[in-house]
Amino acid sequence: MQKTLNIDRRNFLKYSGLTGTALILGFSSSEAIPNREVLNLSRIAESFELTPFVIIEKSGQITIMNSKPEMGQGTFQSIPSLIAEELEVPLNKVIIKQTSGEKQFGAQTAGGSSSVRGSYANLRKTGASAREMLIKAASQQWSVPVEECYAEDVKVFHKPSGRSFSYGELVETASRLEVPKNPALKDPKDFKILGKPVQRPDIPLKVSGEAVFGMDAEVQGMVYASVERCPVFGGKIRKIDDSLTLKVKGVKQVVKAQRTLGKNTYEVVAVIAENYWAALKGRKALKVEWDYQGFDQFNTLDYEKNLRELAKTEGLVDHNAGDFEGTFAQAPLKLEAFYETPILSHSPMEPMNCLAQWKEGDQVEIWVSSQGPDSVKRSVAEAFGIPQENVKVNIFFNGGGFGRRLYQDFATEATSIAKAVGVGKPVKVIWTREDDTQQGPFRPMTFSALKAGLSSDGKAIAFQHKVIAPSIGATMNKSYDRTKSDGTMTEGISEQQYEIPNVKNLFVLSETHIPMAAWRAVTSTTLAFSHECFLDEMAVKAGKNSFDFRMELLNKESDTKRVLTKLREVSGWDKPLPKGWGRGIAQWEFFAGLAGQVVEVSKRKDGSIKIEKVYAVIDLGTVVNPDNTKAQVEGAITMAIGAATKDGITFEKGMVQQSNFHDNRMVRISEMPKVEVHILAEGGTKIKGVGEPGLPPLAPALANAIFNATGVRIRRLPFDLDKIV
């Protein structure tokens, strides 16, 4: 995936030097049944029927397509592994190529911890079909029974005689065979790649500096752009004074353009220059007068007040079981609490950037780091009213995504600028860190009003979680249903396994013009905090140990119960802690998966809190790469510590107050506790995700640990570990 990463159908064939026959297997995304075509070069170039996930050439070269962009989560290894395992080829003998949004590859967006889950069955089947065809081809060439042949390490062997054919030698024959409809999948006990801590093929490139990110993409004749966007969302250009800008050496021109982000379109002014530094200097000299359209009235303090007011309204029902009101009214023990969380930026280490070229005949080419090549195509095509086929996308390694690169505004904006600059001129737009921090879209804040009723023996009998929040959907999509509870904004609150007989969960929408976006683990990052801290408050009210209280609500067998049981064991929950220490527990199940954590903290002499250790258990059902899974959980925990204890995004006069890493701080290595990750890979009910589930339990487990150590109950994020007591 170095210089060769970006491929379109034609280049791709040229690149792989495909001549004559090759065995090409894939499936059509609609049917998910392996199909095959034996084609010569020109046919393939024409064909849009085929989804060539694996290509075996006569030369023996094997190419496997990775349809899910690599952003650090490991799809560059995990997705090809699904095919390679069944095909009996080690990953180091395979060329891995990133797809570029071609229709036939279907959904190519990496998000929602869904990449492996969504591909698992189909890709294994594809690999298994190819293996069976190669084995059958060998048996025919030798005229021996199929049962006497087996595949291993890119060869088919004849067991009795020990003879072998390389895959390349079998391509011709294999390509004439029927594709098996139901190929036999390997028994997991025979796996050589899946479930093993296999080294990731992208890592050596990331250690040598050779890995190519969108930021590094270059084409002949390109110019650079730095873009002035209104500091107040929704503001319009009143006047541009570029007289000083145009005097800056290297600046070529200043153009007006548009950034399309979901349903929103923002006016922008781009400074075009020979080099990036000149573009930046030109932008500093630029004077744009904005008409804020009244949006400069917006500020966080008022918006928070508004959320607290809205909490008094009934809201929309998210989930209703039993009789919450009646039971709560009669409950011998009652408690209520209000939790608050902030807006956050995604801040991947690679700031947004995009290289775009508007060509003759309304053709567009884009070079970009994005979580979804298909969504880049769609977004650009929609923004400019051109067919998707006109948009060619080249995807590179993402220098972090975390949900930010699910939104293709950087591509629509760069395309608009390239169009304004003129046909044929490639323009590279690089966002500053300040742009990245201030221009959104953001993780929404959520406020939560919680109520619980307990029986006299301290069992939860009534529970309510009311979420008051802006909505990703409402700020992004033209069609948004305001008559129903918003499942994304109430994510997980009605999915927990706790057996509480009377539950009524509610949602209250708070409108805003600030664009909101999915952020790694989405709304679970805030709702797990309020939900699982409140569970702890209930345990305290009931006079019970946080762990026992939860287990009393988990009588039926469930994945949650297994996770908590494992967590108790690995964290040494029942062992006493040193003086001044505390521990807290939390778990969270949501669309992406399930994990639980125990956090241990200590109180320093000066009263500040140190996070000593995090024990994590993630439930997967099946594991593709245990080492990478651990890395993902370690990373999720780091990000969650930042989200809980660093800075939120706040607004004043309509403008974001934070700008760079000094006031929008990230976790540093010195703040990183020891982390121990355990994987539950067996006995689960379904395949679960890896990238996100490690995030939600951290904030509540940490806050619960701080309560345990200090008696201080934290109900608002972020909190400062130095100023708890």
Partner 1 sequence: MAKYSLSINGKKFSIEAEPDTPLLWVIRDYVGLKGTKFGCGMALCGACTVHLDGEPIRSCSTPVSTLKAANRITTIEGISANTDHAIQKAWIEAQVPQCGYCQSGQIMSAVALLKSNPNPNDEDIDAAMSGNICRCGTYPRIRKAIHRAADLIKESGNTTGK
* Residues of the shown chain interacting with ligand FES in the complex, contacts defined by CB under 6 A: 72, 349, 400
- Complex with partner 1: residue 437 or 510, whichever CB lies closer: 437
Strands 149-152 vs 95-98: parallel, antiparallel or unpaired? unpaired
| Residue 390 binding target from ligand FES, partner 1, none, CB below 5 to 8 Å by type | none
CA distances from 335 to 330, 331, 502, 670 (A): 12, 10, 15, 38
Q: State the Cα–Cα distance between residues 52 and 651, nearest whole angstrom.
A: 48
| Residue 667 binding target from ligand FES, partner 1, none, CB below 5 to 8 Å by type | partner 1
- Complex with partner 1: residue 211 or 493, whichever CB lies closer: 211
We find the least distance from the C-beta atom of residue 642 to partner 1, in angstroms, to be 8
Q: Which position has the token pair 């994304």?
A: 488
Q: Which position has the token pair 């030698």?
A: 169
Q: Are 353 and 429 in contact (CB under 8 A)?
A: yes
- Complex with partner 1: residue 273 or 311, whichever CB lies closer: 273
Tokens representing 610? 């140190």
Q: Are 143 and 150 in contact (CB under 8 A)?
A: no
| Residue 666 binding target from partner 1, ligand FES, none, CB below 5 to 8 Å by type | partner 1
Tokens representing 331? 């409950």
We find the least distance from the C-beta atom of residue 528 to partner 1, in angstroms, to be 18
We find the least distance from the C-beta atom of residue 107 to partner 1, in angstroms, to be 21
Phi-psi region of 639 (alpha: psi -120 to 50; beta: other; left: phi over 0): alpha
CA distances from 253 to 196, 220, 499, 504 (A): 54, 19, 64, 58
| Residue 696 binding target from partner 1, ligand FES, none, CB below 5 to 8 Å by type | none
We find the least distance from the C-beta atom of residue 206 to ligand FES, in angstroms, to be 7
We find the least distance from the C-beta atom of residue 698 to partner 1, in angstroms, to be 11
Q: Helix, strand, or coil here: 129?
A: helix
Strand residue runs (E) in 329-378? 333-340, 353-359, 363-368
| Residue 205 binding target from partner 1, ligand FES, none, CB below 5 to 8 Å by type | partner 1
CA distances from 336 to 201, 321, 724 (A): 51, 19, 22
- Complex with ligand FES: residue 111 or 453, whichever CB lies closer: 111
We find the least distance from the C-beta atom of residue 198 to partner 1, in angstroms, to be 10
Tokens representing 23? 């065995």
Q: Are 195 and 44 in contact (CB under 8 A)?
A: no
We find the least distance from the C-beta atom of residue 705 to partner 1, in angstroms, to be 19
- Complex with partner 1: residue 495 or 671, whichever CB lies closer: 671
We find the least distance from the C-beta atom of residue 671 to partner 1, in angstroms, to be 9
Q: State the Cα–Cα distance between residues 466 and 339, nearest whole angstrom.
A: 10
We find the least distance from the C-beta atom of residue 639 to partner 1, in angstroms, to be 6
> Counting Cβ atoms within 10 Å, is residue 235 exposed (0-12), middle (13-18) or buried (19+)?
buried
- Complex with partner 1: residue 155 or 200, whichever CB lies closer: 200
We find the least distance from the C-beta atom of residue 349 to ligand FES, in angstroms, to be 4
Burial annotation 169-191 (CB, 10 A radius, 16+ → b, else e):
bbbbbbbebebbeebeebeeeee
Task: Supply the DSSP string of 261-278, one letter for each residue.
Answer: ETTEEEEEEEEEESSHHH
Pick from 548, 545, 446: which is nearest to 492 by CA?
A: 446
Q: At 181, phi and psi to the nearest 5? A: -75, -40
CA angle 570, 573, 574 (to 5 degrees): 120
Comparing every residue's Cβ against ligand FES, the nearest one is 349
| Residue 669 binding target from ligand FES, partner 1, none, CB below 5 to 8 Å by type | partner 1
Note the residues at the interface with partner 1 (CB under 8 A).
70-74, 199-200, 202-213, 215-216, 249-250, 275-278, 281, 347-351, 397-402, 430, 432-433, 627-628, 631-632, 634-639, 660-662, 666-670, 672, 674-675
- Complex with partner 1: residue 662 or 723, whichever CB lies closer: 662
- Complex with partner 1: residue 228 or 559, whichever CB lies closer: 228
| Residue 638 binding target from ligand FES, partner 1, none, CB below 5 to 8 Å by type | partner 1
- Residue 718: asked if its preceding bond is cis (omega within 30°), the reply is yes
Q: State the Cα–Cα distance between residues 168 and 26, nearest whole angstrom.
A: 18
Q: State the Cα–Cα distance between residues 610 and 580, nearest whole angstrom.
A: 11
- Complex with ligand FES: residue 665 or 713, whichever CB lies closer: 665
We find the least distance from the C-beta atom of residue 594 to ligand FES, in angstroms, to be 25
| Residue 52 binding target from partner 1, ligand FES, none, CB below 5 to 8 Å by type | none
- Complex with ligand FES: residue 28 or 432, whichever CB lies closer: 432
Q: Hey, how many other C-beta atoms are within 10 angstroms of the C-beta on 482? A: 11
We find the least distance from the C-beta atom of residue 353 to partner 1, in angstroms, to be 9
Q: Helix, strand, or coil here: 59?
A: coil
- Complex with partner 1: residue 560 or 632, whichever CB lies closer: 632
We find the least distance from the C-beta atom of residue 130 to ligand FES, in angstroms, to be 33
- Complex with partner 1: residue 71 or 535, whichever CB lies closer: 71
Tokens representing 433? 């860190």
